[in-house]
């Protein structure tokens, strides 16, 4: 059982390029989340999805889009990457939007030059 996986592990990207970070979970959790973590700023929620087919904006959604076509996958897309999107990105899932614990993936380290 893998739990929650993210790909790629790390990526260096030229500014202006499009990039999709992948996240897959095999726990059949309803809710999924994307966070970014920057030094000194903690974890900030980018987008979330309470169930397949629905998504919502978090604290810092600008420049990012998500989709939730099925239960298992929750890709995060940067349509035109900018250097300020250099960060570590964590995907998480929980079995319930109401008080359930979140399980985190290993993270993707993204550098935009």
Partner 1 sequence: LAKTTQPISMDSYEGQEVNITCSHNNIATNDYITWYQQFPSQGPRFIIQGYKTKVTNEVASLFIPADRKSSTLSLPRVSLSDTAVYYCLVGLSGYALNFGKGTSLLVTP
Give the chain's end-to-end CA distance (angstroms, integer). 36
DSSP count for the chain of H helices, then E strands: 0, 11
Residue 42 near partner 1 by CB under 8 A = yes
Among 24, 71, 85, 94, binds partner 1 (CB under 8 A): 94
50-89 residues in contact with partner 1 (CB under 8 A) are 50, 56, 58-59
Q: What is the CA radius of gyration of the chain?
A: 13
Nearest distance, CB of residue 31 and partner 1, angstroms:
5
Which H helix or E strand runs over 112? strand 108-112
Nearest distance, CB of residue 15 and partner 1, angstroms:
25
Residue range at the interface with partner 1 (CB under 8 A); choices 11-19, 40-48, 65-73, 74-82: 40-48
């Amino acid at each position: 059982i893998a739990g929650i996986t993210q790909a790629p592990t790390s990526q260096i990207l030229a500014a202006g390029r499009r990039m999709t970070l992948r996240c897959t979970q095999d726990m059949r959790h309803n809710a999924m989340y994307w966070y970014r973590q920057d030094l000194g700023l903690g974890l900030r929620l980018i987008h979330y999805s309470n169930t397949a087919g629905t998504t919502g904006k978090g604290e810092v959604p600008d420049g990012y889009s998500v989709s939730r076509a099925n239960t298992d996958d929750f890709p995060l897309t940067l349509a035109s990457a900018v250097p300020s999107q250099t960060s570590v990105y964590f995907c998480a899932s929980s079995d319930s939007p109401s008080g359930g614990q979140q399980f985190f993936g290993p993270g993707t380290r993204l550098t935009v030059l």
